[in-house]
Amino acid sequence: MVIDRNTHLDLDRLETILRAVRGQPILVIGDVMLDRYLWGNVSRISPEAPVPVVDVERETMRLGGAANVCNNVKCLGALPRLLTVLGDDAVGERLQAEVKAAGLPTECMIKDPSRRTTQKTRVVARGQHLVRADEEDRAETSGNVAEALLAQLPACLDGAAAIIISDYGKGVVTKSLLETLLAMARERDVPVAVDPKDTHFLSYQGVNVITPNQYEAAEVLGYKLRDDQSVTRAGTELLSRLGARSVLITRGEKGMSLFEAQGGRTDFPVTARSVYDVTGAGDTVVSAFATAQVGGATAREAALVATHAAGLVVAELGTAVPDVDALRGSFRDGGAAWDA
């Protein structure tokens, strides 16, 4: 396995990439959700059951799924577009308001009266995530809604520098949508980055990069990624089966492993000094990788940017996005090279 040991990304190169990213349109397609947080304290156990009673002190709302991907793209300086479906309900109205408040576009958010908008409610007390309650529908879009998605594609894709598919398995991404989208991307030579769901995993043919975590990769391939040998086998097999240019497997505390079609595996150790919450980390990885490549980064440079960006968001409690100044600081403090 051949690795270029001389490749390096210093702060000047990072600045060049970030400057080139500014204002570049990136289309994000996928499942949006509202992340609702109830924050409080625990001082007693319920007399009704052996569970803690949380005295809720405040409630916050944050963007999740493809909406969080959009927010990440925006925070890194690019210009996101969002094509998605949400319910015609109170949660959908709140989600749309949060999207607007974040300065993100809402014109391609299609409403479907037959489905609920996905909302994930997390109860957090004294810094501990106690429970999560999900409200959602997972049926694939069909009929008029599916037609509306396809009808919006040409305008949303016009002039886009990249496409990010954020597939959470909530129904927006379907096989027929993927077939049309990937064909249009090939015709227009637009790179596609995918944060995958196992349902459609082998339909992401010919993409620029796919960013599964080790459990998603294991589920699709049928064997666990227990050691370096199995990780190498998985990355090589996914490259071959998908015809992808690169595969970036996220491995939790072991960092990330990048596999490129021209050969070679590159490992990126964790940069986070502390990990409080991994919620949304996958959104940040695919966003940072795709956005950096729009700025001219190589796959290895993009993976390094993604590693540092993810290190920033997991150090915060709750869904978060990377700050560009903090990203610069991470490179300055944590180094800017990878393990060969």
Catalytic residues: 283
Give CA–CA dist 306/31, Å, rounded. 21
* Residue in the block written with tokens 């924050």: 39
H helix and E strand count, the chain: 10, 13
Strand partners for 339: 267
* 3-class SS string, 239-297: HHHHCCCEEEEECHHHCEEEEECCCCEEEECCCCCCCCCCCCHHHHHHHHHHHHHHCCC
**328-337 contacts at long range (C-beta below 8 A, 24 or more positions apart):** 328/11, 328/14, 328/15, 330/271, 331/9, 331/11, 331/14, 332/11, 334/271, 334/308, 336/8, 336/9, 336/10, 336/11, 336/14, 336/304, 337/8, 337/9, 337/304
φ/ψ (deg, to 5) at 116: -90, 145
How does DSSP classify residue 116? Answer: P
